[in-house]
Amino acid sequence: MSIKGSDVLQNIEANRIFAEKTDIPLHIGITEAGPAGKGSVKSAVGLGILLYMGIGDTVRVSLTADPVEEVKVAYQILQSLGLRRRGIEIISCPTCGRIEVNLPEVVRKVEERLEGETLPVKVAIMGCVVNAIGEAREADIGLACGNKSAILFKEGQPLRRVSEDEMVDQLLEEIKKMKESGKYGRATGKS
Ligand code: SF4
């Protein structure tokens, strides 16, 4: 059964009322959510609230965009709620005056080069040591950046210092080793 509309609040309410009255499986989604950016936010709010309430058996994200993007957003919503683990999760800071590396570029390159990777690994990329050490240790692997370099962390332990120029390659090399060894997913609960 599917009860969908483009209004997020009406959608949530209609599905909530229906789910209270029956156990019939529900296919949920925000229809005609709009372009990729705004539509993803609407879908995340609408689906996220329903899924958190335990409502929804299958999901659909409807965007005015490439259908591949719809699938990515759907996976991201499920992953954010801990309902599905698939692919790399990047934890990165919003940057501030303390930043000493080109963090947006580092994150962009990592995201680009890990596109399509299904390994359930949490990667922390932080701009300075203030919050970086804690986040990097909580992740499977991470970069705690500072002074045009970074400390590369893996499974909670510092591995080595790497320069800004080589940090992306070094991070990806360690992720490749994790994949080959089958030892990964500490932070995502895979292992
Ligand atoms: S981790 Fe450092 S650079 Fe990033 S937002 Fe926090 S204080 Fe700023």
CATH at residue 149: 3.30.413.10
The pick from 90, 96, 129 for probing ligand 1's pocket by mutation, whose C-beta has the most ligand atoms within 8 angstroms, reads: 96
Q: How far apart are CA 61 and CA 30, in angstroms?
A: 7
Residue 49 forms part of a structural domain: yes
Confidence tier at 186 by pLDDT (50, 70, 90): low
Residue 42 forms part of a structural domain: yes
Is residue 22 over pLDDT 60? yes
Residues 12 and 36 reside in one and the same domain = yes
Q: How far is the CA of 126 from the centre of ligand 1 (A)?
A: 7
Residues 97 and 171 reside in one and the same domain = yes
Question: Structurally, how many domains does the chain consist of?
Answer: 2
Confidence tier at 188 by pLDDT (50, 70, 90): low
Residues 112 and 57 reside in one and the same domain = no
Q: How far is the CA of 127 from the centre of ligand 1 (A)?
A: 5
**Tens digit of each residue's pLDDT (9 = 90 or more) over 119-171:** 989 999 999 877 777 776 679 999 999 888 999 999 888 899 999 999 999 99
Angle between helical axes of 8-21 and 36-52 (0-180°, round to 10): 30
Residue 47 forms part of a structural domain: yes
Residues 93 and 171 reside in one and the same domain = yes
**Tens digit of each residue's pLDDT (9 = 90 or more) over 62-94:** 999 999 999 999 999 999 998 988 788 999 999
Q: How far apart are CA 191 and CA 174, in angstroms?
A: 17
Residues 62 and 103 reside in one and the same domain = no
Residues 27 and 101 reside in one and the same domain = no
CA neighbor of 173 nearest in space, from 113, 132, 107: 113
Considering only 20-24, 164-168, 178-182, which range has the smallest mean pLDDT? 178-182
Per-residue pLDDT, 175 = 94
Is residue 189 over pLDDT 70? no
What is the DSSP code (8-state) at residue 64?
Answer: B
Per-residue pLDDT, 9 = 97
Q: Which of 183 and 125 is assigned the larger pLDDT?
A: 125
Nearest CA to ligand 1 atom 8: 96
Residues 101 and 171 reside in one and the same domain = yes
Residues 168 and 136 reside in one and the same domain = yes
Q: How far is the CA of 148 from the centre of ligand 1 (A)?
A: 14
**Tens digit of each residue's pLDDT (9 = 90 or more) over 31-50:** 988 999 999 999 999 999 99
In this structure, what is the dihedral angle of CA atoms 91, 97, 103, 108, given to the nearest 10 degrees? Answer: 80
Per-residue pLDDT, 191 = 43
The pick from 125, 126, 147, 151 for probing ligand 1's pocket by mutation, whose C-beta has the most ligand atoms within 8 angstroms, reads: 126
Q: Are 106 and 144 within 8 A, CB to CB?
A: no
Residues 93 and 177 reside in one and the same domain = yes
Residue 66 forms part of a structural domain: yes
Residue 3 forms part of a structural domain: no
Nearest CA to ligand 1 atom 7: 130
Q: How far is the CA of 24 from the centre of ligand 1 (A)?
A: 47
Residues spanned by the domain of 158: 89-181
Residue 2 forms part of a structural domain: no
**For ligand 1, which residues put their CB under 6 angstroms from it?**
93-96, 98-99, 126-128, 130-132
Residue 190 forms part of a structural domain: no
Q: How far is the CA of 136 from the centre of ligand 1 (A)?
A: 13
Q: How far is the CA of 107 from the centre of ligand 1 (A)?
A: 14
